Amino acid sequence: ILDKVQYFGYKKFDYNLRESEIIWNSLSEIQRRLIRRILIGETVRKEEFAADIDYLIKTGIISNKKQTYTINLPLLTNILLKSSTQSLKLHNHTVWSGEELMTAKFSAKQNHILRLLLENVGKVVSQDQIADNLWDTKDSENKFSVWAIDKFIQRLRLRMKQNLIADKIIAIKTKGYCYQNTTHCIRTEELIIKDGLKFILMENNKDNVYFYNKAFQKKQLRKVLWQSTPKTDKEIIDWIKEVTTAESHYYFSIWKNKKMIGHVGLDRINCLNQSARMGFFLDNPKLWDKFGKTIFSVMINEAKNRFHLQFLSADVAGDEPTQIRILEQLGFKKDLVKKSLLTLELF
């Protein structure tokens, strides 16, 4: 791939992510630094880095139009953003990224809202709070426009991206926004957000019926699903109705990047015996390695802190080794008789 780039240039080929990563890793530190500077709009003087700029132009990785450099390889930009982004932090009431003071990188209002979000990391900052900090809303009849707040946050996200800052601002529908980091779990009555996943209290609607109807038709999933798993439209509708209305059930749909990927929840909740069973499903089994620990941890936390349960069990369909391994890492122990059954003592 590198020979192709050097001989033909970038434009002759449509590179995938892996090939783009090979190209990125092959660049010298100076060349990477130049691409970073181009991405965030800093001035690049050719006389300082003539040989490196000539190489990047010759291979087609960047282009020069009217003394303005642009990056031609979109996936390279994504890799750069992923590898270079830093989180924001608050120090002495000012916004920092790593060791760099970021005050000059944002407008006065953007700094004000960033401070508000960083003072409430992991908590929802309401639309009213944001409006009160952006405008004088006390004497206004309409107070504020939700559309105007959304546009403001949109511009703030863009400025963060331009400065290679990780966008950890999460929109909470009809409620507001919050700044999330990996050590915090955001919680409202209907919603939990942790490590990039959204857990939304499951609803009885057509979208959920469609999701399960489509997911349960996959051949690779049918091999590991319990025989009792609902398969037909009617069975799925009845099951969703049960998990969304029965007092003994407490289920969340799991979302990643605005796409539903599965569910996790508690059923057979018995407050007298202080016990429940954990149910879970992902339509792509490969996602368990990446998200399994987060998914199970959220539900363990709910069992302990919301229902004050003492015992939690999990029955793993198909004896899936990845799910069993993650559950054991979280303290679950295998049943001596039924190997697919694991239990956890919470207190």
Of 130, 145, 179, the last residue of a domain is 179
Q: How confident is the model over 212-269, as pLDDT tens digits?
A: 888 777 655 555 565 566 677 788 888 888 888 887 889 999 999 889 999 999 998 8
Instruction: Check if the beta carbon of residue 70 is closer than 8 Å to that of residue 93.
Output: no
The backbone region for 44, taken as left when phi is positive above 0, alpha when psi lies in -120 to 50, beta otherwise, is beta
Give the pLDDT band of residue 206 (cuts 50, 70, 90): confident
pLDDT score of 172:
78
Alpha helices in 85-107 (DSSP H): none
Q: How confident is the model over 299-332, as pLDDT tens digits?
A: 999 998 888 888 999 998 766 899 999 999 999 9
Q: Which amino acid is at 165?
A: I
Question: How many structural domains is the chain composed of?
Answer: 3
All residues at 6 or more sequence positions from 132 whose CB lies less than 8 Å from its CB, including other chains: none
95 and 232, same domain (yes or no): no
Please give the Cα distance from 97 to 269 (Å, whole number): 45
Please give the Cα distance from 252 to 233 (Å, whole number): 20
Give the pLDDT band of residue 152 (cuts 50, 70, 90): very high
pLDDT score of 13:
47
Q: What average pLDDT does the chain have?
A: 81
Instruction: Check if the beta carbon of residue 199 is closer than 8 Å to that of residue 260.
Output: no
All residues at 6 or more sequence positions from 288 whose CB lies less than 8 Å from its CB, including other chains: 282, 320, 322, 323, 326
Beta bridge partners of 315: 341
235 and 308, same domain (yes or no): yes
pLDDT score of 287:
93
Q: Which two tokens stand for residue 241?
A: 């109705």
101: nearest Cα among 81, 113, 86: 86
108 and 207, same domain (yes or no): no
Of 132, 158, 179, the last residue of a domain is 179
35 and 120, same domain (yes or no): no
Q: What pTM value is reported for the model?
A: 0.55
- Of residues 222 and 23, the one with the higher pLDDT is 23
Handedness of CA 88, 90, 95, 96 (dihedral sign): negative
Which residues form the domain of 54? 2-84
pLDDT score of 116:
94
Q: Which two tokens stand for residue 143?
A: 């107070």
